[in-house]
Amino acid sequence: MIEIGRGSVNKMSARLDATRVEYAFRLGDAQIPVNPLIGKTVRLEYLGAIHCSHCGRRTKTSFSQGYCYPCMQKLAQCDVCIMSPEKCHHEHGTCRDPSWGEQFCMTDHVVYLANSSGVKVGITRATQLPTRWLDQGASQALPIVRVATRQQSGFVEDLFRSQVADRTNWRALLKGDAPSVDLTAIRQQLFESCAEGLSALQARFGLQAIQLLNDVAPIEIKYPVEAYPTKIVSFNLDKDPIAEGTLLGIKGQYLIFDTGVINIRKYTAYQLAVHQ
Ligand SMILES: [Zn+2]
């Protein structure tokens, strides 16, 4: 086998080409297309070092997907409000980094429905679409509410979460294509059943801030997967530094080998070599 790249790994870049996803490994500054590797034997090798995505310091363990412990405790992007946006504390003057918050949280967000392993509700910065959906392996997606801040997206998601899941079942995701669902109909059901809560949020933040997207059509996304495994085994590079097999496909941030699956995002900031 020959080495085709090495460096600090980041989540794969994912680009929608018509309806099909094109992936590339990101190793340091280099990008290596992954789609052409499908059907071939590929080996990922963890080289034994993790360097924090923020400060570059070597860390034994990766925290919050790619950070050293001090950065995890200090950075705004590692705060609890990133996972639970309704807990945003920017207005109290306690944001870990108010200017980061201005740039990444006090900006338009979208609440969406996606079908990855069944219907789920999610949120993302408006500029992250459709990347967010591709990273999650969604086969259908539909933006349903546009809001002015990350915190507001959390409040809206909270309303919908009582009726739609907010997690992806990654095992189901890797076992096959999710059956198609009518996201438009689910949107209308949610708007009706959550009408009171939505009106309350509009009264609190303004009609301009909380906009229901009634006229958007869902998009369909196809992943480059030649075959799905019948039994799902995960590689764990912390226990065994080599993941190798015939690459069957790519979905979300997962590589699907005939020998097991691996979530590349989980290994952000690991030093990896890729062989073909
Ligand atoms: Zn650090």
Average pLDDT over residues 95-124: 96
Please report the pLDDT score of residue 18 as a whole number: 86
Task: Say what the pTM is.
Answer: 0.94
Plot region of 208 (φ>0 → left; ψ -120 to 50 → alpha; else → beta): alpha
Measure 27 CA to ligand 1 centroid, in angstroms.
Answer: 18
Strands (DSSP E) found in 191-233: 211-212, 219-220
Rounded Cα distance, 139 and 179, in Å? 9
**Domain extents in the chain:** 3-68+223-275, 105-220
Contact 151, 86 (CB under 8 A): yes
Measure 97 CA to ligand 1 centroid, in angstroms.
Answer: 15
Average pLDDT over residues 242-257: 98
Measure 200 CA to ligand 1 centroid, in angstroms.
Answer: 41
pLDDT band at 119 (very low <50, low <70, confident <90, very high): very high
Q: What tokens does 167 get? A: 């997690």
Coil, strand or helix at 66: coil
Q: What tokens does 8 get? A: 């600090």
Instruction: Write the pLDDT tens digit of every residue in 146-195.
Output: 999 999 999 999 999 989 988 889 999 999 999 999 999 999 999 999 99
Rounded Cα distance, 118 and 103, in Å? 32
pLDDT band at 19 (very low <50, low <70, confident <90, very high): confident
Measure 49 CA to ligand 1 centroid, in angstroms.
Answer: 14
Measure 57 CA to ligand 1 centroid, in angstroms.
Answer: 6
Residue 230 has pLDDT above 90, yes or no: no
Measure 47 CA to ligand 1 centroid, in angstroms.
Answer: 19
Q: How far is CA 256 from CA 44, 200, 204, 233, in A?
A: 12, 44, 46, 10
Measure 138 CA to ligand 1 centroid, in angstroms.
Answer: 31
Residue 141 has pLDDT above 90, yes or no: yes
Average pLDDT over residues 239-268: 97
CA 138 vs. chain centroid, Å, equals: 10
Measure 36 CA to ligand 1 centroid, in angstroms.
Answer: 34
Question: In the chain, what percentage of residues exceed pLDDT 70?
Answer: 100
Measure 126 CA to ligand 1 centroid, in angstroms.
Answer: 27
Contact 247, 40 (CB under 8 A): yes
Measure 60 CA to ligand 1 centroid, in angstroms.
Answer: 11
Please report the pLDDT score of residue 168 as a whole number: 87
Looking up tokens 């369909």 gives: 220
Residue 114 has pLDDT above 90, yes or no: yes
Mean pLDDT of the chain: 96
Average pLDDT over residues 249-276: 97
Residue 30 has pLDDT above 90, yes or no: yes
Residue 125 has pLDDT above 90, yes or no: yes
- Cα angle: 264, vertex 75, 84; to 5 degrees: 75
Measure 92 CA to ligand 1 centroid, in angstroms.
Answer: 26
Rounded Cα distance, 133 and 128, in Å? 9
Strands (DSSP E) found in the chain: 3-17, 20-27, 30-33, 41-50, 109-115, 119-125, 140-147, 211-212, 219-220, 242-251, 254-257, 260-263, 270-275
Kindly give, in sequence order, each residue whose CB lies less than 8 Å from that of residue 155, ignoring residues fewer than 6 positions away: 86, 201
Looking up tokens 């996803």 gives: 21
pLDDT band at 102 (very low <50, low <70, confident <90, very high): very high
